[in-house]
Amino acid sequence: MEPIKAKEGEIFDIELEEDLLKKNEELARQNRKILDGYKIVAIDIMGSIGTGKTSLIKNLISHLKGKYEIGVIAGDLTTTIDADRIEKEGIKVIQVNTGKECHLDANLIKKALKKFDLGALDLLFIENVGNLICPADFPLGSHCRMVVVSVTEGPWMVRKHPYIFSQADVVVINKIDLAEAMKVSPEKLADDVYKINPAVKVIPANCIAGKGMKEIIQALSF
């Protein structure tokens, strides 16, 4: 017997108005509130793989240790290599492994903050996952966003990734000691950054030898 089938039901709209990126921004605002509550200055350090983010953090720590209580959140897909490197400076480090994600997000930072004795901290460095693209979409709640680019990546790194530079407060051009060998001009890289973001501070550096550290600290102005 052929049953009588009810007609497809009513059609209607459900207004969701759910903004997925705004959700991250809201969490970032909460992180900022927590940090401000403890008077902690947080610096988000972004840049592609192998650009010298960890070396920069290590060197900054050696300059600032003793003056400030410092904590570090190290982000990577996997391993604790970076956290282990930084821990040698005698600093509290939390490693965040994102698994497959190409960036840190505000939710992961919120979780990581719980692992610190926040009352004892003055400064927090957040090393983002090595990537010049995705972290730009995910603010973490930091007070300052720093991008590290190096001459060994070639002359077009800045032009190829304009968005991340447009959001940076400070840009470090690293490995300037290798500029000649690489035939890359740090000045041209800096020009490219200024074209994209006229308000940014660009500092040439050698993060292993410690060149440029004082200028970077000055630019961070915490």
Partner 1 sequence: MHDLSVSQAIARTILKQAKEKRVRKILSVNLELGELTFLNPEQIHFWLKELFKDTPAQGAKIYIKKIFSRIKCKKCEYEGSMSLRDDPFFHIYFPLLRCPRCNSTSLEIKAGREGLIRRIKVSI
Cα–Cα distance for residue pair 210/165, rounded to 1 Å = 23
Cα–Cα distance for residue pair 122/39, rounded to 1 Å = 7
Could you say which of 3, 18, 114, 183 contacts partner 1 (CB under 8 A)? 18
Determine the interface stretch with partner 1 among 37-45, 106-114, 181-189, 197-205 (rule: CB under 8 A).
197-205
6 binds partner 1 (CB under 8 A): no
Which helix (H) or strand (E) segment holds residue 64: the answer is helix 53-64
In the complex, what is the shortest distance from the CB of residue 97 to partner 1, in angstroms, rounded to a whole number?
A: 15
Site string (74-103) toward partner 1, x via CB under 8 A: ---------------------------xxx
Of 25 and 87, which has the nearer Cβ to partner 1?
25
Bridge pairing between strands 123-127 and 92-97: unpaired
Of 57 and 164, which has the nearer Cβ to partner 1?
164
10 binds partner 1 (CB under 8 A): yes
In the complex, what is the shortest distance from the CB of residue 113 to partner 1, in angstroms, rounded to a whole number?
A: 22
1 binds partner 1 (CB under 8 A): no
3-state secondary structure of 124: strand
Could you say which of 2, 3, 5, 8 contacts partner 1 (CB under 8 A)? 8
How far are the Cα atoms of 1, 3, 5, 172 from residue 8, in angstroms, in the given order? 21, 15, 9, 60
String of b and e for 27-46 (b: at least 16 CB within 10 Å)? bbebbbebbeeeebbbbbbb
In the complex, what is the shortest distance from the CB of residue 145 to partner 1, in angstroms, rounded to a whole number?
A: 13
Cα–Cα distance for residue pair 190/171, rounded to 1 Å = 9
In the complex, what is the shortest distance from the CB of residue 39 to partner 1, in angstroms, rounded to a whole number?
A: 25
The DSSP code for 5 is P
Contact residues: partner 1, CB under 8 A: 8-22, 25, 101-103, 131, 133-134, 136-137, 159, 162-163, 166, 195-199
